[in-house]
Structure 1
Amino acid sequence: MTHSLRFFSFMALLGFLTTGHSQAQTGPYASTQARHTAVVNAPAAAPVPPMVPAAPTISPDSVFINPEVRPQFVGGDKAFTAYLAKSIRYPQVALQRRVSGRVFVNFILDAKGKVVDAHVISGPGSGLNDEALRLVWMMPPWEPARSNGQPVRVACTVPIAFTADR
């Protein structure tokens, strides 16, 4: 009989420990007493530093469309307009035909801010498309786009306006 009494006491103690453990882990619905008991009985652990997610690696071949920091012509929009006004050579054919309009040029800026690819999306022709491409290829380097603090390649589109009434 003593043997079965010990066994029964052991099982009751085991049940009590299991119940206390499960209550301590039920989160906000656990009783206040159970949560405090779990904290008091827990061994002191060394503080764990917060995990900082590693910046994802960016492939050098990736081309961003909407990076965190957009590229910028050095000096801003006013400097870009001044560059165009100073550098533009209105084609004679377009002047003779009084052709004007906008040429939309799409280009890729590399991580150093240099144009590496450019093509005309739309334009009136008559030499204006070629002149717009020349202007884009001759641009000085831009301040590059950035993603996760790293300079990245980015796709850009700019309109270049030509007015025959110069």
Structure 2
Amino acid sequence: MKTLLTLLFVVLCIGAPAQTKKDAITGWEHTICGQTAALYPGGEKALVRYLKKSITDHPFIKKEAIEGKALIRFKIDTSGAIAETKMIKSLGPDVDAVIIRAVASMKPWIPATQSGIKVFSYKTLPVLFK
């Protein structure tokens, strides 16, 4: 039976990208087949450019001497749209409003997939001010 399950798992993973993760406690390796994370169009560099333009170039942010790290969590639905934004670490209501507005206004992401099927996912982004 164990051999049958192993073969079934291997067959299900053929043709789909697989990731192997090692459990820190047990040392066992877990293969996750067919998962891809959500991706901002143009990649991470395009995301950083967009956030810099939308957040750090905002008149309120330029005027204030803001320093620190904020964290925002949001959902990327199966169409790539942004939903359910939530500040995890705040730098104050005015700064939070600028960050939330910028994230909510992002163009649609390429949604996450699991075994070739689009699925919703959550992303947490740090926003650093120096």
TM-score bin, normalised by smaller chain? 0.5 to 0.7
Deviation, 1:142, is 0.6
Select which of 109, 124, 137 maps to 2:91. Answer: 124
Check 1:134–1:112 CA distance in 2 against 1; reply closer, same or farther (3 A cut): same
Q: How many residues align?
A: 100
2:60 paired with 1:91: yes
Structure showing the higher strand proportion among its residues? 2
More helix by share: 1
The equivalent of 1:151 in structure 2 is 118
Cα RMSD (Å): 2.5
Select 2:48's aligned residue among 70, 81, 89.
81
How far off its partner does 1:126 sit? 5.4
Normalized against structure 2, the TM-score is what? 0.67
Deviations 1:115-148 (A, max 9, x none): 0210100022152111111111000011100011
Tell which structure's C-alpha radius of gyration is larger.
1
Query: TM-score of the superposition, structure 1-length normalised?
Result: 0.53
Q: 1:139 aligns with which of 85, 102, 106?
A: 106
**Structure 2: segments with no counterpart, 5+ residues:** 1-6, 13-31
1:104 aligns with 2:104: no
1: CA distance between counterparts of 2:92 and 2:49? 23
Conservation of the 8 A alpha-carbon contact between 1:103 and 1:124: yes
Secondary structure class of the residue paired with 2:47: helix
CA contact (8 A) 1:101 1:123 kept: no
Counterpart amino acid of residue 151 in structure 1:
K
